[in-house]
Amino acid sequence: MSHLVVCERCGEDEDLIGKKADDEILIECQACGLIWSRSLLPRCQKCFSLEVHPAFEAIVLKSRGTQLSVESSKLIYLCASCDAGRLREYQRSNSPIMPKELPSF
């Protein structure tokens, strides 16, 4: 399992404590004592830009044989530069966009 937050000093991913402060979370590693802040503002995972737009992505599962069904959707953030094509698709359709990878048969 990959964790979203890992201590940069010692690699700890379980023994962490977070406290909300304005638009960030102060995180303290209980293993080595390192304290750092993590912004609550959504940011692009590739280029770290704050110019991201909320969108809904379909959650697709196999239902029967080769048939795929949209089960629900989840909130994602699309970067204006890294995800420009997917962002335009979402803005045109105004409905959940398909995930990058579909379930295999």
| CA atoms within 13 Å, Cβ hemisphere of 27 | 21
Query: pLDDT tens for residues 62-74?
Result: 877 778 888 899 9
User: Which residue from 58, 42, 40, 53 is spatially nearest to 83, judged by alpha carbons?
Assistant: 53
Going residue by residue through the chain, which has 105 residues, state the pLDDT in tens, using 9 for 90 and above: 455 789 999 999 999 999 998 888 999 999 999 999 988 889 998 999 999 999 999 998 887 777 888 889 999 999 999 999 999 999 999 899 999 887 776
| CA atoms within 13 Å, Cβ hemisphere of 98 | 7
- The pTM score is 0.65
Is residue 80 within 8 A of residue 51, CB to CB? The reply is yes
Beta carbons within 8 Å of 27's beta carbon, 6+ residues apart: 5, 16, 17, 18, 35, 36, 37, 38
Q: Is 62 helix (H, G, I), strand (E, B) or coil?
A: strand
